[in-house]
Structure formats: C-alpha cells, structure tokens
Chains A and B, each alone.
Chain A
Amino acid sequence: MIANFGLAALWFAAALAILQMVAAGLSIRRDNPVLAGLVRPAAIVQGLLAAAAFGALIALFWRTDLSVKLVAMNSHSAKPLLYKIAGTWGNHEGSMLLWVTIMGLAGAFVALVERRLTERAMLATLGAQAFVSIGFYAFLLVASNPFERLNPAPPEGLGLNPLLQDPGLAFHPPTLYFGYVGLSIAFSFAVGALITREVSPLFARTMRPWVLGAWIFLTLGITAGSYWAYYELGWGGWWFWDPVENASLMPWLAATALLHSVSVLASRNALRAWTVMLGVVAFSMSMIGTFLVRSGILTSVHAFAVDPTRGTFILVLLAIYIGGALLLFALRAATVTEGQRFTVTSREGALVCNNVMLTATLGIVLIGTLYPLLAEAMGNKVSVGPPYFNPMSAMFVLPMLVVMGVGPLLRWRRDKLVRIGRRLIAPAFFSAGGMIFMLVKGASALPALGMMVAAGLLVASLMPLSGRRLRMVTLPLWGMVLAHFGVAVALFGMAADSAFTKERLIAARIGQTTDVGPWKVELQTIMPVAGPNWTALEGALAATYQGDHTVILRTQSRSFWAPFQQTNESALHTRWNGQLYVVLGDQVEGGRWQLRLWWKPFVTLIWLGGVLIALGGLLALTGRVASDLRRLVAVNMIAYRRKRQGR
C-alpha cells in the first residue's frame, strides 16, 4: 500500500516536471501568461510529491516491509531503528530518490521565494531545473525503481553493510546530497541566464545565497565524511584520495571558485562569462562524481551499485545535460560582454588568482581520478595515490592560500601592494616562525611549507578586521574572516598531523606495555561483548600521558552476522593537542593480538577547521538573506505609502 503510494507519487512528480519544462519553454518563446502561471505551482507540487515518495520509502524501511525488494536487500528486522531509517539512503535506489527529492524541493523553494530576477529569467531557470529533474526521474523509474516488489516476500532481509551502521552515516550522505544537488540550482540559474542573455550583477546576487547554501552543506558533508573514514575504517588517515572523496572534493572546489567569482560579478559586474561557466561546471562535477562512483567504472569502497546498465544511463544523462549546457555556453558566451576592467593588484585580481588556482586544483584532482581509466583504455593498470595528489595539489593550493591572506586587504579595481605592506609584517613574521620551527623539528618539505602558510594565515585571515569598529563589521565580512581562519586552522592540523604522527603496529600480549609518542599504552584485557546485531572481542587499553593521567580505551573487532562482515572499531582519546588512536586487529600466533597505535598531534584541528569554514558560510548567508529581506520590506513599504498617498 505504502509502496504503491510512493511509486504513484514519483510518477506524478515526473509528469509535473515535464509540464513545468514545457510550460516554461513555451512561455519563454512567446509570452503566454496562462502557461507561465503554471510553472511556479508545478515546481512546488513536484517538489512536495518527490518528498512524499521519499517519505513513503522511509516508512517502508521503518516497518521493515520485506515485500519491497529494496528493503529486503538492504535491511534486517534486528537492526536498530536509527539504522533502519538511515538504510533508506544507504543504497543506490534510495540515494537516487533522495537526490531527486532534494532537487525537487530546491526547485520548489526557488519557485516559492525567489522574486528578484525578471520573470523571463525565472521561467528559464525553473524550466532548466525541471529538464534536469526529468532525466533523474526517468533514471529512477526505468532503471532503479526503489519500490519494486518481491512476491513472495522473504522471511528476513539481508541486512545493511556494517561499515554503514554508524551514527555518522545517518547524516553524512544527506548533508553531502544537499550540497551536490543544491548546486543544481546554480546550474539552472546559469543555463537560464544563457538562454535569456541576462548575465548581470542582479543575476549574481540572486544566485549567491543558493550557491552559499549548497557550499555550506558540501563543506559540512566532506568534513563529516573525512572524520567518519578516519574513525570507522580504522586506517588512521583522514583523506585517502579515494574516487568518492574526490567526487565530493571536485564540486566543492568548483563551488568555492563560483562563490568568489559570483561576488566579483555581484559587486563589480566583472567576470561574467566565467561565473556562468563555473555555475555549469559545479553541478557538472556533482553529476560526474556520482556517475564515476555509481557506474562502477572506478573501483572504490563506496561503489555500492556497480552496474554497467545504470552507468550507461547516467552517462547519457551527463552527455545531454553537461554537453547541452556547454554547447549553449559556447554559442552564447560570445554575446556576454566582458564587464568592468581591473588591474592585477586589486581585490578582483586576487579573486581571479584564487579562481585560476582552484580550477587548476580541480583539474589535477580530475586527472588523477580519471588517469587509471585512461591507462586501462591503453592497456595498463595503474592506481594513482597520495604521491601524485599531495604535491600536485599543494603546488596550487599553497600559493593560492598566500593570495587568500593578502587579497581581502586589497581594494577593488586597483590598488598598490605598498599601501598594505605594513599590515603584512605580522603574518610574515609568524610564517617565518612556523617555517623555522618545522625545520628545527626536521619535518619534510610539504608539511613545513604547509605550516609556514598556516602560521601566516592564522594572523592574516584576521587582518581585514583590524582598524574597523567591530560592531560595524557586517555579517558577510565576519563570515569571510571566519571561513578563511578555518582554512588556516585546518591547514595547521594537516601539517602537524603529517609531520609529527607517531605510529606503532605491534603484536601485544596481555599485560604488555608499548610507547607511542608521549603515551605508554598497556593492553589490559580482551573480553567478548555482544551488541544488537554483532558480537565482538573488546580490548581494554590503559593509556598514560607523559607519566600521569591514565585513561581507559576500548577498541573492538566486531563480527556482524547479517550480512557477515568483520569491522574494527577504533577507540580515540582526544586531548587539546591531539588524539590517541588505537585499533584492535586479529589474534596472531602465540596468544598475541595485533594492535595499531597512533599519536596524532593536532589532528582534530582539521575537522574543526572544516566546521569553522562552514560556520563562516552560514554567517555570510545569514547576512545576505537578512539584508535582502530588509530591502524587500523597504521596497514594499515605499510601494504601500505611494499607494496610500495616491488615494
């Protein structure tokens, strides 16, 4: 019953998307108030129907309705409720349904609140949004129907991948999806602007909060995903350059570039074609990333739906949407005039530099992700890892961050470095200090450079506030400062972690004590424990920091039985200056146990930095929305007064 309802809602949503696209398309070509009036309501109802279908799927997972194939394949009646619900999007079909739901709701939200653009541009935008949605509805209904039934229903489900049974997973994918799919709005705005040839500061101001919103979710999603991989996979690393991680990083890089170029367009009416281009690229990267992961064309731990048919389907969608948008860009961008001019040493100049560097980094990540595919097409098998990604991306990111320290101090249009020279003394001093410290400690080149830039940035990022009355500083400026400061904090954590991490891999007897960094760790006991759908061997370790202050850590080697899989649950102890990370492995000969121990100085700053960046985005978004609302109220007040006076 619920399944039928969900499927029906999905079909109606798809039909409304078609109506929305056709009505928008026709009324752009020839003014037609009746058809144009249909577009916004269609967008709103379409979003609600998609949400209803998604709600139906959640209900099916909640009740563990095993007559639905998807539930039977991915859930189990003995699973905790949180993971039953999270299981809704822990699989291919459910996550694609989440994708169209977010896309529909985002479109509905735009249709509901956005009144700044001209009606024609709005129609083009909503039409483009519907056009993209239709493809994904078709993909769901034809190639990955989440509501497919099983007759007879099996007595029990197969269960959810145990790695995914973690509170982090309940929120990490939806957060990332809000980011990925939120960028579809930027894509639709860009396509709409190309269709109507209306690329203006107004267009940029309209697009900015949507980009900012998607970017905040992406930032949080990537940060959470990195922390999840860090503690759940038990490998002790926080970034693996895995194709899926790259798939989330690439849209983020494009969105970050877009966020900065949109500011130039909004306040200076420059970088017009470039901003439109980035709007197309950002969401294209979301789709390409999803495709690379879902088609199984790249092997990855995340590839939970390896299926060439689906891969081909998504590829066709990609070719239509991205290819179409780029074709439109090539045809129309020549008619977009260049906009205002500026010198190299200016705020715009610094932002252009940021954009070029971010785009270059994006290129490097994309090439590294695709290279194994290219090599395989030529008959070689290779994998590309940190030895390529780390130095290559640092080559562009570190100089970019130096510019990030200086850029906000420059004036718009034209400026001289001499003017701000004195304000750069303190950051330069800290940079030198950071470098010297790392060289004395004998760190290798990359972490040393990272620490140098981080130390300077920690100060430089706060500089835009100096000489201002703090009460007068606008929210978007606070947001920028906080986000840039977050970048410095995260970079500090990365440099400290990669330079000073201590690792031990031992086969320990019970009662044996080992050193790792400033810690002494004793393996005290190994005890069996049981959870709701797993049993485990739990190792208790007593860790002592520099001779005093002992803590007990419990790490487990878990065996899940539906489906059968072993996972290692790491145990962490966080101090202000770092984390102790322990993982229990297998039993080895002679009654000893494999133990992996890490002392990771300041590693938590990486994720703290990520959260600060997202918070910065949130402040900026709040500021922008608040000032838009104030402007709206003022305009309405004036109109109201005029009306009364006229009477």
Chain B
Amino acid sequence: MSDTSVPLVKTSGLTLWLPLALFSGFVALVLVGLLRPASREVQSAMIGKPLPAFSLKPAIPDIPGLAHTNFVGGKPRLLNIFASWCVPCAAEAPQLEALRRSGIEIDGVAIRDTQADLRLFFARNGNPYSRIGADNVSAVQFAIGSSGVPESFIVDGRGIIRYQHIGDIRPEQVEIILARLKEAEH
C-alpha cells in the first residue's frame, strides 16, 4: 500500500496522556482562582497614579473653579463627578452633605451643566462642594477614568488617586468612604 496514513492520535506513547495533563492544568488554575477571593470591583487603571493636569473654570461665579494643583494640600480630598441633570446625583446629595459635616473637603466636577440648572440643583439638594469646575466636554472626566455620573475619587494629600467609587454613594457606604479617606492619609 502506498497510502500515507494520517495518524491523528498516535496509538502509543505519551500523547494519550496529554489531554489529562492539560485538564489537570485547568483544574490547578481554577483552584487558584477559587481559593483567592476575587474582587468584583472595577479597578480604575488610574489608581495609584497622580491626577492628570487640568484646570477647569468655575461652574458658578461665586464658587472657585478646580485645578489639579488644588489637590496637593497634604490632606485627602473627595473628588465628585456630578451633574444637575443626573437623578442619582440628587439621591447622593445627603451622603455628600454628611461627609462634608464630618470634615471632608469635597470638590465637584460638573458635567455638561449650566449655571441656572446648578443653582436650582443646589437650592433643592444643598451644596457640599468647596470648589466646582465646569467640564462641558467631559475631558477631565475621561482623563481620570470615569465613564458616568456620579462617581467619586479619593485623592490623597500628594495628588495621587487612591480610590474610585462608581455610582452614587449610598447611606450605608458613607462609612466605607470615610475609612478609605483615613487610609489615604498615610
């Protein structure tokens, strides 16, 4: 016979053990994954990195605007991305107020907003912000790795981003934020 045979699986030798070896590798890998408690949070690529350089004009004339240089005062600050047209931002307002009352300095970045809308928003929900920068094209928002409103960032006294909170801060999460701020002091 001149036929060239195509032996897909050699009927002897170590090849037959290969599937079992591969599968054992899979089990080992998965065991590592199962035993280590995986964190389900979306980790920002910006955590541990300094704030990008930016300088935003004031969103309302009577409150100062915001620049990256405001974050090197030695104390951790909370950077809150928000908008008057965002419903969860209004829901978050009491928690921000509580944080402000416990001595946290909060800076805001207002996304695609107007003065009139912001005044109405503050009249209804109160104003926890020390400074508010107007980001009308979401440039700063994207630069620090935020994709929606509201989001909050903890920035330590040297201007390094330490923590990202996606979505509104719920009442039960105020404690977590406070603890993270405390950690950022070191």
Write out the residue numbers on chain B whose beta carbons fall within 8 Å of the beta carbon of A377: 29, 32-33, 36
> Which chain A residues numbered 374 to 401 have a C-beta less than 8 Å away from chain B?
374, 376-377, 381
Write out the residue numbers on chain B whose beta carbons fall within 8 Å of the beta carbon of A589: 83-85, 112-114, 117
Q: Determine if A349 is an interface residue (Cβ-Cβ < 8 Å).
A: yes
| CA of A232 to CA of B23, assembled, Å | 36
| CA of A315 to CA of B83, assembled, Å | 46
Q: Determine if A148 is an interface residue (Cβ-Cβ < 8 Å).
A: no
Write out the residue numbers on chain A whose beta carbons fall within 8 Å of the beta carbon of B24: 323
Which of B7, B16, B34 contacts A315 (CB under 8 A)?
B34
Q: Determine if A526 is an interface residue (Cβ-Cβ < 8 Å).
A: no
Interface string of B105-147 (1 = CB under 8 A from A): 0000000111001000000000000000000000000000000
The A/B interface has a contact count, at CB < 8 Å, of: 100
Q: Determine if A355 is an interface residue (Cβ-Cβ < 8 Å).
A: yes
* Consensus secondary structure, chain B interface: loop
Write out the residue numbers on chain A whose beta carbons fall within 8 Å of the beta carbon of B20: 323, 326-327, 329-330
Q: Determine if B176 is an interface residue (Cβ-Cβ < 8 Å).
A: no
| CA of A284 to CA of B22, assembled, Å | 13
Write out the residue numbers on chain B whose beta carbons fall within 8 Å of the beta carbon of A573: none
* Min C-beta distance of A413 to chain B, whole Å: 8
Write out the residue numbers on chain A whose beta carbons fall within 8 Å of the beta carbon of B117: 589
Q: Check if A352 sits within 8 Å of B16, measured CB to CB.
A: no
Write out the residue numbers on chain B whose beta carbons fall within 8 Å of the beta carbon of A274: 8-9
Q: Check if B30 sits within 8 Å of A330, measured CB to CB.
A: no
* Consensus secondary structure, chain A interface: helix
Which of B19, B43, B85 contacts A588 (CB under 8 A)?
B85
* Min C-beta distance of B48 to chain A, whole Å: 13
* Min C-beta distance of A322 to chain B, whole Å: 6
Write out the residue numbers on chain A whose beta carbons fall within 8 Å of the beta carbon of B114: 589
Write out the residue numbers on chain A whose beta carbons fall within 8 Å of the beta carbon of B16: 273, 329-330, 333-334
Q: Check if B4 sits within 8 Å of A277, measured CB to CB.
A: no
| CA of A134 to CA of B9, assembled, Å | 32
Q: Check if B31 sits within 8 Å of A330, measured CB to CB.
A: no
Known interface pairs A323-B20, A330-B20, A333-B11; A342-B27 also in contact (CB < 8 Å): no
Q: Check if A355 sits within 8 Å of B8, measured CB to CB.
A: yes
Q: Check if A299 sits within 8 Å of B9, measured CB to CB.
A: no
Which of B26, B37, B112 is most buried by chain A, counting CB atoms within 10 A of its CB?
B26
Q: Determine if B3 is an interface residue (Cβ-Cβ < 8 Å).
A: yes
Q: Check if B11 sits within 8 Å of A334, measured CB to CB.
A: yes
| CA of A271 to CA of B84, assembled, Å | 68
| CA of A311 to CA of B19, assembled, Å | 22
Q: Determine if B40 is an interface residue (Cβ-Cβ < 8 Å).
A: yes
Can you name the residue of chain B whose Cβ is closest to the Cβ of A413? B3
Which of B6, B31, B38 contacts A352 (CB under 8 A)?
B6
Write out the residue numbers on chain A whose beta carbons fall within 8 Å of the beta carbon of B36: 376-377
Can you list 19 A-B pairs with a CB-CB distance of less than 8 A?
Answer: A273-B16, A274-B9, A280-B19, A296-B38, A299-B40, A323-B23, A323-B24, A323-B27, A329-B19, A329-B20, A330-B20, A334-B12, A336-B11, A342-B3, A342-B5, A377-B32, A377-B33, A589-B112, A589-B113
